[in-house]
Structure 1
Amino acid sequence: MSVAPPRTIARTVAAADGAPIAVYVEGDAEAPVTLVLAHGWTLDASAWQQHARDLTTAGSGSAVPVRVVRYDQRGHGASGGGSRPWSIDLLGEDLAHVIAETAPTGPVVLGGHSMGGMTIMALAAARPELFAERIGGVLLTSTSAGRLDPRGRRDVPLRSRALGHAESAFFGYCSRTVERSERIRARLPGPAGRLNPYLVKRYLYGPGASREAVLAGARMIHACPMAAVADWFPALMRHDKAGALGALRQVPVEVVVGTLDRLTPVAHSRRLAAELPDAELHVEPGCGHMLPLERPEVISARLRTLVARAAAGTGDGAGEGTGDGAGRAG
């Protein structure tokens, strides 16, 4: 007999500039650990829906009760865009507010996919004391500490540099003509057709990805506002936190990437692991950039391990902060 998943509680957290951030909370309110999950560019909080279910459903195999907080990143899903210009540092501030409002006490584990991983890095660079006091573990999947922009770099092939210029021009055009770009996209084949899922799978998934996983990603991407599609691109290209991740050395870190990731290739995860020598690096064969959707069981297992470690370390310094650390985050 299947067990009903826990009820999702939706609320809104106001960011520093007043932008409304949509938040979804699942699990036991009295759980000893809170898991906060940040999604990637053009996705939304539903990218973590299966993981929330895996970790909070009774009989799921989780040894430690956990409360899961998912949220729509600024400009995505049901969250507002707020002030401009957008930056990954701004997303780090948003994450700090989400933690302060939804998990004011107790140990916290953070999980981030792609731009969500960059969000965690931005928070770590800006608020190292929060990691020392409250954060009991971090999962970084399919992400990068920087060097995503190939333009002007002699160490990348000419073809990659040319593609970088083309992408920058394309997203710049979309940013300047958001309404027109929305109309054009509305006339293109969507996830209900064959071409859209085919392209999404080709560039973002491995060849063995299930149709269900591909459609889940395709629908989120298709629903993402063109303003977010276009205007977050330059922020991703500017992102650079290499050498600024000392706070992550204080906590258990899992770095996970697919061998076929085109957007944040394995080399980016290897550089992260080199900067965080105590981090555990796992390279999942045959998977693309959408690893949390393509292999949710792999990600859930890593999150489950981090939650257990955070709960076990409550009395040893990890997560000992009362509410002060999160309060200062606001």
Structure 2
Amino acid sequence: MTGTVPVVLVPGMLCDAGLWEDVRGALGHPVVDVDLSAPSIGGMARQVLAATEGPFVLAGLSLGAIVGFEVLRLAPERVAGFCAMSTNAGAPTARQREQWAALDRFTAEGGFAEVVTERILPTMFATTEPPAERARTFLAMANRIGPEVFRAQLAAQATRTDAHEALAAVRAPALVLGGGADALCPESFHTAIATAIPGAERHTLPGAGHLLPLERPAELAALLGDWLRRFSFRKELHA
């Protein structure tokens, strides 16, 4: 007997299950949400693997996709399909490490609210001043995540390694999505990822920023839902 594999949704930094609110219902699969709170990419990958049993489709955005790269390395047999959104498979640069260290320091000194509103929010959407409703949704997620988990996520970012070479070993169907106006992850990042994974599909949402599920939920749901249906991800169920 067969059943539909779950889709494990892995959000980006400072995001939670609310990121996918307007997308999950269109996927046609059971959905499992994962929160990322470990202070390393390896630890976060283990959080993903512990979230469900058996095979699953992993859909990750930004940090969530970076964690997905590590999940593919650790347990490729568990990943029936992989969707990477708004992300970067490269190792951290010296500038990024400096920026993360500064954000961690400001947060530790009590500046979490300022970091989120002044440093992070302006990079999340296609414009530095997003519509008020989108800004409120992101800020609500960030406040639920809170400063301590944010600091763990910053620490995890610093443990990233370049994943491009490892992605050449991926044999699961893969979908790579990005926004044409993403200030953090330009199209070249997604081209490199899609080139590294054999047979990967790649789509760009013109004019979209970093948080695709909030900014373009209908388009994202259509692309992801169509991809899931075409590959008909199923698993064997045993009584």
TM norm structure 2: 0.84
Find the partner of 2:20 among 41, 48, 53. 48
- CA offsets, 1:176-203, max 9 Å, x none? xx3x42xx446x599xxxxx4x876532
| Structure 1: distance between partners of 2:231 and 2:167 | 20
Superposition pairs for residues 310-321 of structure 1, below 5 Å? 310-311=231-232, 314=234, 319=235
- CA offsets, 1:138-177, max 9 Å, x none? 2110012123x331xxxxxxxxx4xx465144134246xx
| Structure 2: distance between partners of 1:71 and 1:32 | 19
Equivalent position amino acid for 2:90 in 1: G
Larger Rg: 1
1:90 equivalent to 2:43? Answer: yes
| Structure 1: distance between partners of 2:187 and 2:159 | 20
Q: Work out the number of aligned pairs and report it.
A: 235
Name 1:150's counterpart in structure 2.
Answer: 93
Find the partner of 1:205 among 125, 136, 139. 125
Name 2:36's counterpart in structure 1.
Answer: 73
Q: What secondary structure sits across from 2:22 in the alignment?
A: helix
Across the aligned residues of Structure 1 and Structure 2, the Cα RMSD in angstroms comes to 2.8
Q: What secondary structure sits across from 1:143 in the alignment?
A: coil
Offset, 1:216: 1.0
- CA offsets, 1:55-97, max 9 Å, x none? 3xxxxxxxxx4211123222xxxxxx5xxxx211111111111
- CA offsets, 1:233-254, max 9 Å, x none? 2422331222112453x22211
Q: What secondary structure sits across from 2:190 in the alignment?
A: helix
Name 1:130's counterpart in structure 2.
Answer: 78
1:216 equivalent to 2:137? Answer: yes
5+ unaligned residues in a row in structure 1: which ranges? 1-29, 56-64, 75-80, 152-160, 191-195, 324-330
TM norm structure 1: 0.63
Name 2:102's counterpart in structure 1.
Answer: 170
| Structure 2: distance between partners of 1:212 and 1:252 | 34
Which structure ranks higher in relative contact order (CA pairs < 8 Å, sequence separation ≥ 6)?
Answer: 2
